[in-house]
Amino acid sequence: MKRIAFILAIFITGFCKAETGYELWLRYQPIANAQYVNACKQLIRSLEIKGTSPTLRAARSELERGLNGMLRINLPLSHSGSILLGKPENIPAITPAIKEQLSKAGTEGFLIKTITIGGKNRILIAGNTDQALLYGVFHFLRLIQTEQPVRQLDILSVPRSPLRLLNHWDNPDRTIERGYAGFSLWQWNNLPAYIDQRVIDYARANASIGINGTVLTNVNANALILTPEFLQKVKALADVFRVYGIKTFLTARFSAPIEIGGLKTADPLDPAVREWWKKKADSIYQLIPDFGGFLVKANSEGQPGPQDYERTHADGANMLAEALAPHKGIVMWRAFVYSHTSDDRFKQAYEEFKPLDGKFSSNVLVQVKNGPIDFQPREPFSPLFGAMPATPLMMEFQLTQEYLGQSTHLVYQATLYKETLDADTYTNGKGSPVSSTLSGFAGVANIGNDLNWCGHPFAQSNWYALGRLSWDYTLSSETIATEWIKQTFTPQPAFVQPVLKMMMRSRELLVNYMTPLGLTHMMYNDHHYGPMPWGNTLNRPDWNPVYYHKADKAGIGFNRTGSGSNALRQYAAPVQQQFENIDNCPDDYLLWFHHASWDHKMQSGRTLWDELCYRYHTATDSVRAMQQQWKSLQRFVDAERFSHVQQMLAIQASEAAWWRDACLLYFQTFSGKPFPAGYEQPKHDLEYYKDLRIHLTY
Amino acid sequence: MKRIAFILAIFITGFCKAETGYELWLRYQPIANAQYVNACKQLIRSLEIKGTSPTLRAARSELERGLNGMLRINLPLSHSGSILLGKPENIPAITPAIKEQLSKAGTEGFLIKTITIGGKNRILIAGNTDQALLYGVFHFLRLIQTEQPVRQLDILSVPRSPLRLLNHWDNPDRTIERGYAGFSLWQWNNLPAYIDQRVIDYARANASIGINGTVLTNVNANALILTPEFLQKVKALADVFRVYGIKTFLTARFSAPIEIGGLKTADPLDPAVREWWKKKADSIYQLIPDFGGFLVKANSEGQPGPQDYERTHADGANMLAEALAPHKGIVMWRAFVYSHTSDDRFKQAYEEFKPLDGKFSSNVLVQVKNGPIDFQPREPFSPLFGAMPATPLMMEFQLTQEYLGQSTHLVYQATLYKETLDADTYTNGKGSPVSSTLSGFAGVANIGNDLNWCGHPFAQSNWYALGRLSWDYTLSSETIATEWIKQTFTPQPAFVQPVLKMMMRSRELLVNYMTPLGLTHMMYNDHHYGPMPWGNTLNRPDWNPVYYHKADKAGIGFNRTGSGSNALRQYAAPVQQQFENIDNCPDDYLLWFHHASWDHKMQSGRTLWDELCYRYHTATDSVRAMQQQWKSLQRFVDAERFSHVQQMLAIQASEAAWWRDACLLYFQTFSGKPFPAGYEQPKHDLEYYKDLRIHLTY
């Protein structure tokens, strides 16, 4: 009956405008603030556009769509239009001062500036390429969506990173590895002849946040994508993406020369193999002149690679780089390897790649996950950042919430991204944040063909944040979240403020109800959903939760100091100093680096055991508070999205308690200590949780 | 550049209201015809609703949504509302004449009637159950959507069939067997806690066309669905569907007692197995009191079944029927079997099932595909229809276009359905159409999570037609198509008339460019897309195209007369007489029943070879004409759907020529005859077509 009540709740308001979430942050809804609308209308009446190209036509169309939607303005073309869009060489009236500003904009940066021509105020949107103009248009529309003043504008925005990519782990059969939002957007069977409107809208969304590249295929790669038949399909997509300034990349299966090339080997030093890749690259560039290059996962989790032939990662990467170099393509070679034996998985990427620094060709980047293990709710930064000064590095964040509640938990990840980016590597002395060591950004996409693209309505914010941070990693998480909330829901402060608070706390809550105090990797096997801290049945020790927490009667945590695996030594000395002393190691990282006694005194003054209980309980309570908070905001949100978030929060609240009870009951078998007074009792005993079989099917 | 032009075409109009197709035929757009709107507004001002229930609330909500959308009417509740919605026992003012009418309405039929109470005209929507009232509301809304008069109404509509079902071939991992429109709607991982809005909209759509049951899972079944964990998820869906008068069914994997029950056998005569199924049924009904029952594919294409234990299909079906009977559940046992050896696959279902007539329990139905082979573009009706007088039969149509161009060809299938339903079986003398032999309808769903549900924008019409025909198989294809066009696009005659013509001809065109004159089953292996008449590499002869057309120097076609396999003998004598004489066998069925000489004189006067060339060529030309026709209708359609159909028609035109050229060039190697003068030459030689590797990935 509760269910029925819910359905009817939908229906009572259901005949008002429903929102599916399909429009993302580009909703362009009529702005309610009449004063703001009037101010805009006085300044925005017509458009002058200099130049013609598909990209400029897309920019114009977006302006028309946005201004028509938000301000009910039809935007006629005019020779002295109030908006002036163009490159400096096409605008005679441009002043030397503006030229000077634009000389700093590079190929992607833009200037939005109120200028006076012939006594008339105009809004100049300028840049040195059509792509930059498109970015300028999207930024201008964002100003209006977020109700910023459009008077006396002077905004010069230049991306801080040249590579701002999505990585899609999409398979040719349209399933998505670790995807929680439906099937792949790429309709291979209907390509190249049919271009789905969704592909165009995907490109618009990316361009609006500055994403300029997309890897279409899964890192666990299928060579099929490199066959002539499929390259025609890729070309069709690339032709769309090009209009929006997005380069197309593919994953290269290392054994493709055998699988689709008819060769007997894929040895990177074999001349026939090298020749095969060169010809393959040539044939790709004939179809896609601006093809971006290859992303490669090699000798990792069963993928083929150069080590199959006793060659190094550099040998493998350089062979592909050689094939791509004449066309200015790049290779992104993933550092996510842990195939050889080591006493600590934490150390393996560093041990394998650090010695290769300086051995990669100039068009190779090494792509490193943010932390040393695998996209856990909280990890210290990967010690590779800053450790390969002679090699350009890419940051790999995971937007799709494999370990962060998948499609059911509300987690805004910009705080996680910023925590990594802002961490000081000290590799060039104090003030060498991870962000300063990077040459590019990649986000493992959380996008599928669900109506709202990303599953959880709030998951869109992580796509948005990845784009905005890749463009400018100095933006704060608050700024990005505020922009996103205003565009995605409403700019009304009574909504924005509480939702901003929810989002800003959300990742910390998740850490605390899943893996607080530096615990990590305690989820179920395979589908990685739900708590299984007792897991110890998989063949490889480092696939098992018990490997990571090492709970015993004495205490809990992984000793990575000099008396343990000494993974800490991979960091610069000042970083080591932050973590190596158990007495001043930050609580949030304690169990990453220390096997601490259950009685260890935390910075809060509590014992480790009591602090563990405190964290699990308060985080769970906070999720319940978030439920109440959302409920109080119903009047601001359409029925569909309100109900979706509400249902998801109910799941999240129940699962936070599940994590709490399963983990605390299990760890209690080691600590032997009672739960502190005043806390909610576990609903079930430990055996109940151990017996739970959670059957996720995709 | 053509591609770029297309994108821009979208964009120029792109900022007008885009239509994704998500709303299906329930768009409720404002009606442009002011006269009609005014007429409606005079008659429809308020609502009186008698009774309360979730179903009635859904009916009210739908009325409000529809009238608000189409007429901009807010519909206040009033004690003398101009619409009066209720069951007769709740309406004291109802006359004996109306009571008499409603006594014929059964549990699902409805009455929409202009009545006068206290001198005031009111529109009564009445029925004997809440479900009937919901149907009445949807019908009333359809009247308005199609701009029918709402004055002096007197419509009594009663379904001609009690079972009107969709069959989803959806797997637990959300892939869909033979699905061409995305992932499954059932989000198993998030169920039971999360109900997607889409599930509600799916139920609304079904209720609007009278579909009253849905089988959630693939006939190639997975026992997982019968575990307690998954039954909770099924219950959550059933709770939604119930509100809309839709019963939930599942497929039962015959070996489930072994796979999830821990038994050593699934022998239907084994007491432990029978007990297991009884308990399983009991547990399902505890969760879902109105559970519909099981659909079973057994001993077919590798599925387990009673024959594994040397029992009959009746033994298997009756065991399940016994378990369901106390709860009034039913078993739908599929007749699609061809596992034993026979000289002609055509005959196998009949040979296996005819002898079992009368041996099934009373709550078993045998579900029979429309034709004897497998959902080909044209098949004669299955000889089982009319041949099992002691067994209730279900009709199984395939909405999803496995063999009919999948998601890229425009094919309105109601003409196919009607052709089968209207065919005279003669089993009770002349005038015994297939429709008269049926106890229910099933349509293999063409629904996925694509934005527009069905892939091709016109594929929605087949879902619509299945519902409407299941309700009333005497409706004409034209009537149904007209309704669908008006609701889905626009009621403007200048659009409706040409599109109606396109739809009405579409299936015949497809037959003629794929498999004219009674040819059949000439597609690629596995994915079943594209022409491969030369196919002869699969292990089983009856999986190969050459088995079906039997082309040789002498002629082409499968001799199923007395001098051949004598499959014809499975039909009643008058049917045999229609087909058995090669000289008056209808052209459309000739090669189904005869191996005819290349020089055989057709009813057109042409030789068989010339007629074959004529059919392939004119059908291909007609697809091109359809392209032009569609192009001329651009002004009536939103940009997104216009472009989608336009792109698809381009694919269809190109593929029609591919079918034509591949088939004619191949058959020419047998006929040895030239192509008649005046026809377009093939683009490539036969070897080109034979070498084409079409790699479909889902």
Question: pTM for this one?
Answer: 0.96
Q: How far is CA B619 from the centre of its chain?
A: 24
Q: Which of A240, A406, A650 sits opposite B193 (nearest CB)?
A: A650
pLDDT tens, position by position, A43-80: 999 999 999 999 999 999 999 999 999 999 999 999 99
- Looking at residue A12, its pLDDT comes to 44
Residue A358 token pair: 């300086």
Torsional sign, CA B577, B583, B587, B593: positive
For residue A387, with 0-12 CB atoms within 10 Å meaning exposed, 13-18 middle and 19 or more buried, which class applies? buried
Residue with tokens 């309709």: A187
A149 φ/ψ angles, rounded to the nearest 5 degrees: -60, 145
Residue A5, pLDDT > 60, answer no
**Rounded average pLDDT over B311-317:** 98
- Looking at residue B338, its pLDDT comes to 83
**Alpha carbon distance B647, A315 (integer Å):** 45
Q: Which amino acid is at B655?
A: E
pLDDT tens, position by position, B417-457: 999 999 999 999 999 999 999 999 999 999 999 999 999 99
pLDDT tens, position by position, A663-697: 999 999 999 999 999 999 999 999 999 999 899 98
- Looking at residue A44, its pLDDT comes to 97
pLDDT tens, position by position, B113-158: 999 988 899 999 999 999 999 999 999 999 999 999 999 999 999 9
- Using 50, 70 and 90 to split pLDDT, how confident is the model at B283? very high
- Pick among A1, A2, A3 to test the B interface (most B CBs inside 10 A): A3
**Rounded average pLDDT over B162-184:** 97
The residue in chain A having the minimum alpha-carbon distance to the alpha carbon of residue B643 is A197
pLDDT tens, position by position, A365-423: 999 999 999 999 999 999 999 999 999 999 999 999 999 999 999 999 999 999 999 99
* ipTM for the whole predicted complex goes beyond 0.85: yes
| Helix, coil or strand: residue A576 | helix
- Using 50, 70 and 90 to split pLDDT, how confident is the model at B17? low
Residue B401, pLDDT > 50, answer yes
Q: What is the DSSP string of A176-212?
A: BTT--SSS-S--TTTTTT---HHHHHHHHHHHHTT--
Q: Please, where are the H alpha helices in A44-180?
A: 54-71, 96-102, 130-145
Chain A: give the shortest CA distance to residue B366, in Å. Answer: 31
Chain A: give the shortest CA distance to residue B1, in Å. Answer: 9
Q: What average pLDDT does chain A have? A: 96
| Helix, coil or strand: residue A597 | strand
- Looking at residue A596, its pLDDT comes to 98
Angle at A381 between CA A376 and CA A382, to 5 degrees: 95
- CA-CA distances (angstroms) from residue B27 to A69, A208, B62, B136? 21, 30, 12, 18
B528 close to B534: Cβ distance less than 8 angstroms = no
Chain A: give the shortest CA distance to residue B516, in Å. Answer: 25
Contacts of B350 (CB under 8 A, 6+ apart): B372, B382, B383, B384, B387, B570
CATH 3.30.379.10 applies to domain B31-157? yes
> Which positions in chain A touch B69 (Cβ < 8 Å)?
15
B407 close to B456: Cβ distance less than 8 angstroms = yes
pLDDT tens, position by position, A549-590: 999 999 999 999 999 999 999 999 999 999 999 999 999 999
- Looking at residue B698, its pLDDT comes to 79
Share of chain A above pLDDT 90, in %: 94
For residue A492, with 0-12 CB atoms within 10 Å meaning exposed, 13-18 middle and 19 or more buried, which class applies? middle
> Which positions in chain B touch A20 (Cβ < 8 Å)?
22, 197
Contacts of A359 (CB under 8 A, 6+ apart): A312, A314, A318
Q: Which of A450-454, A690-694, B113-117, B340-344 has the lowest mean pLDDT?
A: B340-344
Q: Please, where are the H alpha helices in A376-444?
A: 414-422
Chain A: give the shortest CA distance to residue B445, in Å. Answer: 18
> Which positions in chain A touch B182 (Cβ < 8 Å)?
174, 182-183, 449
- Using 50, 70 and 90 to split pLDDT, how confident is the model at B3? low
Residue B124 token pair: 């009564």
- Using 50, 70 and 90 to split pLDDT, how confident is the model at A3? low
Residue A9, pLDDT > 60, answer no
CB contact under 8 A, A64 and B180: no
Strands B163-167, A596-597: pairing is: unpaired
**Rounded average pLDDT over B682-689:** 97
**CB count in 10 Å sphere of residue B636:** 15
**How many helices (H) and strands (E) are present in chain B, helices listed first?**
21, 15
Q: Which of B65, B183, B640 sits opposite A182 (nearest CB)?
A: B183
- Pick among B6, B13, B77, B189 to test the A interface (most A CBs inside 10 A): B189
Among candidates A593, A581, A572, A566, which has minimal Cα distance to A432? A572
- Using 50, 70 and 90 to split pLDDT, how confident is the model at B697? confident
For B468, half-sphere exposure in the C-beta direction (CA atoms, 13 angstrom radius) is 26
Contacts of A87 (CB under 8 A, 6+ apart): A50, A51, A126, A127, A128, A129, A130, A133
- Positions of A marked catalytic: 301, 374, 402
Residue B696, pLDDT > 50, answer yes
pLDDT tens, position by position, A211-261: 999 999 999 999 999 999 999 999 999 999 999 999 999 999 999 999 999
> Which positions in chain B touch A654 (Cβ < 8 Å)?
193
> Which positions in chain B touch A640 (Cβ < 8 Å)?
197
CB contact under 8 A, A61 and B236: no
Cis-peptide, bond into residue A192, ω within 30° of zero: yes
**Alpha carbon distance A645, A629 (integer Å):** 12
Q: Which of B15, B198, B640 sits opposite A64 (nearest CB)?
A: B15
Task: Kindly report the CATH class assigned to B164-474.
Answer: alpha beta
Domain ranges of chain A: 31-157, 164-474, 513-558+595-691
- Looking at residue B484, its pLDDT comes to 98
Chain B: give the shortest CA distance to residue A314, in Å. Answer: 33
Q: What average pLDDT does chain B have? A: 96
* The listed CATH number (3.40.50.300, 2.40.110.20, 3.90.1330.10, 3.40.50.620) that belongs to domain B513-558+595-691: 3.90.1330.10
CB contact under 8 A, B10 and A200: yes
pLDDT tens, position by position, A112-143: 999 998 889 999 999 999 999 999 999 999 99
A534 φ/ψ angles, rounded to the nearest 5 degrees: -85, 0
CA dihedral B341, B343, B349, B353 (to 10 degrees): -70
Residue with tokens 């026979």: B342
The residue in chain B having the minimum alpha-carbon distance to the alpha carbon of residue A230 is B695
> Which positions in chain B touch A2 (Cβ < 8 Å)?
none
Residue B15, pLDDT > 50, answer no
Task: Please name the helix (run of DSSP H) or strand (run of DSSP E) that holds residue B454, with its range, or none.
Answer: none
- Using 50, 70 and 90 to split pLDDT, how confident is the model at B340? low
Count of CB pairs separated by less than 8 Å, A with B? 171
**Alpha carbon distance B589, B578 (integer Å):** 10
- The angle that helices A477-488 and A414-422 make with each other, rounded to 10 degrees, is 160
- CA-CA distances (angstroms) from residue A169 to A49, A175, B141, B610? 39, 9, 44, 52
